[in-house]
Amino acid sequence: MKWETVIGLEVHTQLATKSKIFSGSSTAFGAAPNTQASAVDIALPGVLPVLNKGAVECAIRFGLAIGANLNRVNVFDRKNYFYPDLPKGYQISQLAKPIVEGGALKIIVPSTGSGQSEERVIHLTRAHLEEDAGKSLHEDFHGMTGIDLNRAGTPLLEIVSEPEMRSSAEAVAYARALHALVTWIGICDGNMQEGSFRVDANVSVRPVGQTEFGTRREIKNLNSFRFLQQAIDYEVRWQIETLEDGGRVTQATVLFDPDTGETRMMRSKEEAHDYRYFPDPDLLPVRLDEDWIAAVRATLPELPAAMQARFQRDYGVSAYDATVLTGSRALADYFEAAAKACGQGKLAANWVMGELSAALNKAELDIAQSPVSSAQLGALIARIQDGTLSGKLARQVFEGLWEGAGEVDAIIEARGLRQMSDSGELEKIVDDVLAANPKSVEEFRAGKEKAFNALVGQVMKASRGKANPAQVNDLLKAKLQ
């Protein structure tokens, strides 16, 4: 039987506010335990919540960025359950009237093997504001668990997609696009190690052609794109095998273990969840007035989708490249500055996505930390364009820039990397090479194309890479005729 995978994601993004959603405590990461847990955060008797305007504004930014409906009146509810990292015994969230409903996100699913990369639109169900819980530390305190409530009350925007993804690759592409967007519009720092962007995946499978969904299992708390992919792949295999072996999938919450690469059922609760949601009587309905929404809209930067279209139009890059280049605001800004500096969009795209990205990856650096500035890269590309540098020489100049050896032209001069432009000098090298390789000449004349390439290689070598490969080609062809 052929199976189809159905995936929907729920992403918890920590909002980049200074203070918590319902108290004036700092949200800074990494403080000593409970030093950022105020009376409200630890739920002392009698304390009350007051909503942070900054958190609401983040939600408005997000709603505008995905073209969603902003509920002009939205309501906070209490979700009741007992857990030691949940000090009030309820989480303040939004159930019936969330702040954001609808909206969509364009994703590009990378090609697998020889196929084309594919563009898709994923629809969002909703996004609602809620408070984060504290942390349970399971290190051994004489068989006890330690509770740190610093994180309790950190604002979250829970972003829920429709179950529209059909593979782990699509799920990852969606998660990446969402990650790019929330960091792009400045509502989330995107730090996945610190838990700023946490993904839950609802996964089910069904026979191809079946319209109703299969029973889903929810994989909780995936904090890297790689784990997201691995967890879904494992889960899908497990569900298909279970069904093909005649078993049943029952609705459950599972955890992914990165060490084993497997998902496992969370300890089953004795009773079904019954969260007893009801509107929080301590908080009034939140009203979004049009002036506020308009003011927030005016502060939104150009969004990735708009920028992608512009990059394709203005710089002639492919849809896929435009998506990669708008993977983050910093990357997009870098690319655009470099492209403008050299007037060569496609070449700039190739360098940013090729040489530069590889070097940054290797050095584990962020684009913002790049030792080579966008102006320098632009200048380098300009020297390729005007024939001063070959691709190979340019890579050597790039190394110089990376090492901080100075500006492009200075490195070319200091290291003697200028492409040979004197045709007399090149002609002499070509003659010498032909004279020294009679066998290759003979083979070429006998019809062996490969021999020609060998001769080109010899010329390049003799010129120590400074010869212009096109010129070498032309000259050799002329001489061998």
Partner 1 sequence: MSDTSLSSLAAQLAARQVSSRELAQTYLDRIAALNPAINAFITVDAEKTLAEAAAADALRAAGQAGPLTGVPVAHKDIFCTDGWLTTCGSKMLHNFVAPYDAHVIRRFKAAGMPSLGKTNMDEFAMGSSNETSYFGAVKNPWNPACVPGGSSGGAAACVAARMAPAATGTDTGGSIRQPAALCGITGLKPTYGLVSRYGMIAFASSLDQAGPMAPSAEDCALLLNVMTGFDPSDSTSLDREKEDYTRDLNLPLAGLRVGLPREFFAEGLNNEVAAAVDAAVAELKKLGATTVGISLANSKLAIPVYYVLAPAEASSNLSRFDGVRYGYRAPEYANLDDMYCKTRAQGFGAEVKRRILIGAYVLSHGYYDAYYLQAQKIRRLIADDFNAAFKVCDVILGPTAPGTAFRLGEKSGDPVEMYLNDLYTIPANLAGLPGMSLPCGFDSKGLPIGLQLVGNYFSEAKMLNVAHQYQRATDWHMRLPPLGEAPGARG
Partner 2 sequence: MSLTPDDVKRIARLARIETSDAEAQATQVQLNSIFGLIAAMQAVDTRDIAPMAHAQEVTQRLRDDVVTETDRHAAFQTIAPAVENGLYLVPKVIE
For CA atoms 389, 392, 394, 400, the dihedral sign is negative
Closest to partner 1 by CB, 31 vs 47, is 47
Enter the tokens of residue 76.
């906070």
For CA atoms 64, 70, 74, 78, the dihedral sign is negative
What SS3 state is found at 199?
Answer: strand
Closest to partner 1 by CB, 22 vs 174, is 22
What SS3 state is found at 424?
Answer: helix
**Least distance CB 145 / partner 2 (angstroms):** 4
Partner in contact with 18, chosen from partner 2, partner 1, none, beta carbon below 5 to 8 Å by kind: partner 2
Whether 309 contacts 113, CB under 8 Å: no
**Least distance CB 128 / partner 2 (angstroms):** 15
Ranges within 360-379 binding partner 2 (CB under 8 A): none
Q: Judged by CB under 8 A, does residue 39 bind partner 2?
A: yes
Ranges within 239-268 binding partner 2 (CB under 8 A): 255, 266-267
β-bridge partners, 256:
263
Q: Judged by CB under 8 A, does residue 55 bind partner 2?
A: yes
Whether 247 contacts 213, CB under 8 Å: no
Judged by CB under 8 A, which of 226, 287, 313, 428 binds partner 2? Answer: 287
Q: Judged by CB under 8 A, does residue 269 bind partner 2?
A: no
Closest to partner 2 by CB, 285 vs 371, is 285
43 φ/ψ sector (left φ>0, alpha ψ -120 to 50, else beta): left
For tokens 């029973």, the residue is 215
Site string for partner 2, 108-147 (x = CB under 8 A): ----------------------------xxx--x-xxxxx
Q: Judged by CB under 8 A, does residue 5 bind partner 2?
A: no
Burial class (CB in 10 A: 0-12, 13-18, 19+), 244: exposed
Rg (CA), the chain: 29
Q: Judged by CB under 8 A, does residue 271 bind partner 2?
A: yes
Closest to partner 1 by CB, 277 vs 452, is 277
Q: In what order do the strands lie in the sheet with 77-80?
A: 90-93, 77-80, 278-279
Residues that bind partner 1 (CB under 8 A): 39, 42-51, 78, 80, 82, 84, 87-90, 145, 147, 274, 276-278, 281-284
> Which residue ranges make up the site for partner 2 (CB under 8 A)?
17-19, 23-26, 32-39, 42, 44, 50-56, 73, 82-84, 136-138, 141, 143-149, 255, 266-267, 270-271, 274, 276, 279, 281, 283-287
